Amino acid sequence: MKLIYEKSQSGRRGIGVPQPPAGLDVPEVPPELRRKEPPRLPELAEPEVLRHFTQLSTRNFGIDTGFYPLGSCTMKYNPRINERLVGLAGFAQLHPLVEDDAAQGALELEWELERYLLEITGLDAVSLQPAAGSQGELTGLMLFHAYFADRDEDEQRTNIVIPDTAHGTNPASVTMAGYKLTPVRTDARGNIDVDDLRTKVDENTAGLMLTNPSTLGLFDENIEEIERIFHGAGALMYYDGANLNAVCGISRPGDMGFDVVHINLHKTFSQPHGGGGPGGGPIAVRGILEPFLPVPVVARDGDTFRLDYDRPKSIGKVRAFSGPFGVFVRSYAFMRSYGPGLKEMSEVAVLNANYMLARLKSTYDLPYERLCMHEFVLSARALKREHGVSALDVAKRLMDYGFHPPTIYFPLVVPEALMIEPTESEAKETLDAFCDAMLAIAREAAEEPETVHEAPHSRPVKRLDEVRAAKEVVVKYRFEDHPAGERQLEAQKGA
C-alpha cells in the first residue's frame, strides 16, 4: 500500500491550529535560526489520515486479532478497562513536575503498585523509574557498582556471570554498565552447570544475572546451590523478571536469594505491547541496596505521599520523572482486578504451557524431557534433517493457520528452536487449534514441503527479503526519487 507521503497533496490540511488572537504579532525569529525549507510532512485531510492508519492496522496482527504465543514476550490479554482508566483526565492531564500536593492520587497509586511488587517479589524496596526490562537490568547493575563502591570492592569485582541461555539484553547491559561478561554453560537437564559455575565465581565476581524460570521455560533445580555460591563469594544476584508470569504467588525471587529483580509490567502485568512498546521495568531490591536507588523515590508520611530526592547515595536518574506513569495505571488496574488470584493467573499460564507441550512433544523434539513452566522450547531439528523444513518455515506456515508464530531460533542453545508461550489468557480450544496446526504442518513437511517453504500464502505480503534490506539500506522515504509534481500525480491515482 502507499506510504502516507505518497497520498499527500500540496495545500491540503488535516487539523486546524488556534491562530494568534487579533492584534498579537508573531515575533521574528532571528534569520540565522529560522527554518528555510519546510519539512515535507504529509498533507492530507483528517478523514484520509484516519483511513490511512486504519488501513495500516488491518495489515497488522495483535492479541486482539488472535493467538500470539511469542515465547518470552508474555502476550496476554490487555483489558480494555485499563485504557479507559489511563485516559481519566486526572491522570492524562497531570504534569509530572507539579508540586506533590497536586499529585496525591498519582503518588498513592505508585506507592500501592510498589506494595504489590514487593509482595510478589519478596523484597524490600522498589524503584519504578526504569522504562523497560532492559533498563531495569542496567539500573540493577549500576546498583551493583554503587554497592561495591560503598564497600571499596568495586575495582576488584569486575565480572558478571550469565548463562548461555540468557536473553541478549543481559550481556548487552553488562557492557553498558562497564562490567565484563563471564558466560556459564547449561547442563544436560537445562539448569546452570554448577560445576562450570564453581570455576567461574571468585573474588572478582560482582554478581549473577539469571532468568528463572529460564528461557528454556525450566525452573533451575540448583537454585539453592547457586545462591550459596554467589553469596558465599560476597557477590550479588540479579533476577531477570522476564518470566515472572510463571511464579506469581508460587515462588518469590527474594526467597530464591535474589538481591535485585526487574519486573516487565508489559509482560506479567499486561501493559499493551504497542507494536514494540511502551514497557515498564521497575526494580525491587533487598534493603542493602535501597540507599542507591534512583531518585526520586515515592515516600509516605501518614496519609500523604511525596517524591523524595534526598538520597545522598543514589546512583542518580535513569529516565525522567518517576517513571512511565500510564504504564503504572494499567498494570496496577490489572493487579487489582486479580487480587490474590494472581496466583491462579500463573497456575493457568503453566497449565496451558504444559498441556500444549504434552500434545506436541511426540511430533517435535523436546530437548529437555521435563515439565515446563509458563513456556517451552521445542526443536524442529528432525523436520529440518528429514524434510528440509526449518523452524522459520514452520513459523511462516503458522500464519496461514491464523496464528502469530512463536519465538524462533532462541534460546541459542537449542537448534531450530520454537519457543512457545501461551499465557493464561487462552481458552483450551485455542490451544488445541494451535497444536492441531503444528501437527498439520509437521505432516505437510513430509507430504508437501513446498507449501511450507513458500508460506505464508495468506498475508498481505509474501516472505520479505531481510538480507536486501540490510544491504541496500532504505530507512526513510526517498523524496528525491519522486519529485513533487510526479508525487502529486501518483497520489491522485488513489490508494
Partner 1 sequence: MSYLSVTDADREAMLAAIGVSTVDELFQDIPAGMRYREELAVKPALSEAELQRHFEELAAKNVVDEICFLGAGIYDHYVPAVVDAVLQRGELLTAYTPYQPEMSQGVLQAIFEYQTAICELTGMDVSNASGYDGTTVAADACFVAKHATGRAKVVVTEATNPQVRQVVKTYAPGFGLEVVEVPHEGGATDPARVREAAENAAAVIFQQPNFFGVLEAAPDLAAAANDAGAMPIAHVDLVSLGVLEAPGAYGCAMAIGEGQSAGNAMSYGGPHYGFLAARSDYMRRLPGRIVGETVDAAGERGYVLTLQTREQHIRREKATSNITTNQTLLALAGLVHLSLLGPQGLRELGETCLALAQHAKAELQKAGLELAFPDKATFKEFAVRTGRNAREALAAARTKGVYAGYPLGRDYPGLDDTLLVAVTEKRTVGEIAQLVEALA
In the complex, minimum distance from the CB of residue 377 to partner 1, in angstroms, rounded to a whole number: 15
CB closer to partner 1, 262 vs 384? 262
CB closer to partner 1, 332 vs 386? 332
CA 222 to centroid of chain Cα atoms: 27
CB 4 within 8 A of CB 44: yes
CA 126 to each of CA 254, 345, 346: distance values in angstroms, whole numbers, following the listed order = 13, 23, 22
In the complex, minimum distance from the CB of residue 295 to partner 1, in angstroms, rounded to a whole number: 9
In the complex, minimum distance from the CB of residue 369 to partner 1, in angstroms, rounded to a whole number: 12
Q: Sign of dihedral through CA atoms 330, 335, 336, 337?
A: positive
CA 193 to each of CA 159, 188, 198, 210, 241: distance values in angstroms, whole numbers, following the listed order = 18, 8, 9, 13, 21
CB closer to partner 1, 104 vs 385? 104
In the complex, minimum distance from the CB of residue 365 to partner 1, in angstroms, rounded to a whole number: 19
In the complex, minimum distance from the CB of residue 23 to partner 1, in angstroms, rounded to a whole number: 9
In the complex, minimum distance from the CB of residue 336 to partner 1, in angstroms, rounded to a whole number: 5
Nearest to 418 by CA among 75, 65, 69: 69
In the complex, minimum distance from the CB of residue 167 to partner 1, in angstroms, rounded to a whole number: 8
In the complex, minimum distance from the CB of residue 273 to partner 1, in angstroms, rounded to a whole number: 4
CB closer to partner 1, 79 vs 234? 79
- Non-local (6+) Cβ contacts of 261 within 8 A are 121, 123, 238, 239, 241, 244, 253, 254, 283, 284, 285
Per DSSP, the residues of 223-277 read: HHHHHHHHHHTT-EEEEEGGGGGGTTTT--HHHHT-SEEE--TTTTT----TTT-
CB closer to partner 1, 283 vs 386? 283
CB closer to partner 1, 224 vs 386? 224
CB closer to partner 1, 40 vs 446? 40
Q: How many CB atoms lie within 10 A of CB 306?
A: 17
Nearest to 163 by CA among 231, 259, 238: 238
Nearest to 367 by CA among 356, 353, 382: 382
In the complex, minimum distance from the CB of residue 309 to partner 1, in angstroms, rounded to a whole number: 9
Single-letter code of the amino acid located at 381 = R
CB closer to partner 1, 188 vs 470? 470
* Interatomic CA distance for residues 113 and 107, integer angstroms: 10
Q: Judge residue 395's burial from the number of C-beta atoms within 10 Å of its C-beta, 0-12 exposed, 13-18 middle, 19 or more buried.
A: buried
CA 400 to centroid of chain Cα atoms: 26
CB closer to partner 1, 61 vs 365? 61
* Interatomic CA distance for residues 81 and 461, integer angstroms: 34
